[in-house]
Amino acid sequence: MNQQHQNERTRIREAMDRLLTGQPRTSDGSLTAVALAVEADVHRMALLKRHVDLKNEFYERVRNETQQVPETEKRLRKTVTTLKKTVSNQKTEIDDLRQQVTLLAMASAVLIDGQGTSPAPEPSLTDAPDNVIPFRPPTS
Query: Residue 29 region, left (φ>0) first, then alpha (ψ -120 to 50), else beta?
Result: left
Q: pLDDT value at position 120?
A: 56
DSSP 8-state secondary structure symbol assigned to residue 30 = -
pLDDT, tens digit (0-9, with 9 covering 90-100), for 50-92: 999 999 999 888 888 887 777 778 889 999 999 999 999 999 9
Q: pLDDT value at position 89?
A: 95
Q: Which of 57, 72, 65 is closest to 12 using CA atoms?
A: 57
How many CB atoms are located within 10 Å of the residue 18 CB?
A: 17
31 with 18: CB under 8 angstroms?
no
pLDDT, tens digit (0-9, with 9 covering 90-100), for 2-59: 888 889 999 999 999 999 998 999 988 888 899 999 999 999 998 889 999 999 999 8
- Is 16 exposed, middle or buried (CB count within 10 Å of its CB: 0-12, 13-18, 19+)? buried
d(Cα 55, Cα 13) in Å, to the nearest integer?
A: 10
Query: Is the pTM higher than 0.75?
Result: no
16 with 61: CB under 8 angstroms?
yes
